[in-house]
Amino acid sequence: MRERVVHGPVPSAQTPAEWLRARAELPAAPPELHERWDSRWGKYIPAPPREPSGRLRVALISASPIGLGFVPTVLADDSVEVVGLSTDEVIDHGAKISRRRRIWRHWPDDHCNEYQAAIELSAVRAGVPVYSGEIKCQTFRDILAQWDPDVILVYVCGQLIPPHVFGHPRYGTYNFHPSNLHAGEGRGPGPLETAVEQGHRAVPTACHHVDEGFDTGHVVGVGRDTSIVDGDGRHLSIGDICFALGPEGGRMARRLLAEIRGRREVIYHLDFA
């Protein structure tokens, strides 16, 4: 059995608000990691040990309201084993992932806290360990070695993913991105703002390999369009668009995982329609 560190029972929180209170009482790291902890922010909440299932091992990196739809959809896939979740740390105001930058700037502070708590809680209640610290540090390198995923799936990450992370899984690391990367549209951190500025009424979700750049990896395929306008044809807020995008990313992730399970190799081309 792969060793998993545990620092006591996980609080039985049922709501994001309860989880926020319980989380505040947890140390940044369990005793086994305390001396080696080198992340400048965040926490690691391990899960109770469990017997290996033999299923495809999947790690998730996801955040924001997009993650609220994406993470639970993948967690519900009983044909894979989700071995860990890394998410943005916005509850800690000292974190580099500022709630005044990137996608988090679209919501007030209390909403940001609630969204992070809800994503974490979905994983904790599924028995999945959660990490919200730096992903470039030795601590996460050690945690990733414990998780030992076959695949990493990403949808919204406030940090540039380093090669030792995206190069770890044998079947690849894949990012889901709300734009048509096949057509060269919306690469980078502001695809939704670009779509609204250009008057698009819908955006597709692309799936691509993660490499050293921002959304520069090989495009595996593009999924269905998600409407970004209301019934009167007016553009939704960026915040509301994010809520709408998560389930399509989750659907595509499960389609990708099914293909990987069947072929047991890195996927380069896939029809997500």
pLDDT by residue for the chain (273 residues), tens digit each? Answer: 233 333 444 556 789 999 999 999 999 988 888 889 999 999 999 998 888 899 999 999 999 999 999 999 999 999 999 999 999 999 988 887 766 667 888 899 899 999 999 999 999 999 999 999 999 999 999 999 999 999 999 999 989 999 999 999 999 999 999 999 988 888 888 899 999 999 999 999 999 999 998 889 999 999 999 999 999 999 999 999 999 999 999 999 999 999 999 999 999 999 998
Rounded Cα gap, residues 205 and 72, in angstroms: 18
Burial of 81 by CB count in 10 Å (0-12 exposed, 13-18 middle, 19+ buried)?
middle
Rounded Cα gap, residues 109 and 132, in angstroms: 17
DSSP H helices, 184-237, are: 191-197
57 contacts 149 by C-beta, under 8 angstroms: yes
DSSP state of 178: S
pTM of the model: 0.93
- Under 8 Å CB-to-CB from 242, ≥6 apart: which residues? 64, 65, 66, 103, 106, 192
Token look-up 């926020």 returns 20
Secondary structure of residue 155 in the 3-state scheme: strand
* Dihedral angle sign, alpha carbons of residues 66, 71, 72, 78: positive
Rounded Cα gap, residues 273 and 262, in angstroms: 18
131 contacts 42 by C-beta, under 8 angstroms: yes
What is each CA distance from 174 to 7, 76, 203, in whole angstroms? 31, 19, 19
Q: Which two tokens stand for residue 240?
A: 């509301």
Torsion of CA 180, 207, 117, 230, to 10 degrees: 30
CA angle 203-194-201, nearest 5°? 35
> How long is the chain?
273
pLDDT attached to residue 114: 94
Rounded Cα gap, residues 191 and 208, in angstroms: 15
What is each CA distance from 164 to 45, 69, 169, in whole angstroms? 22, 27, 10
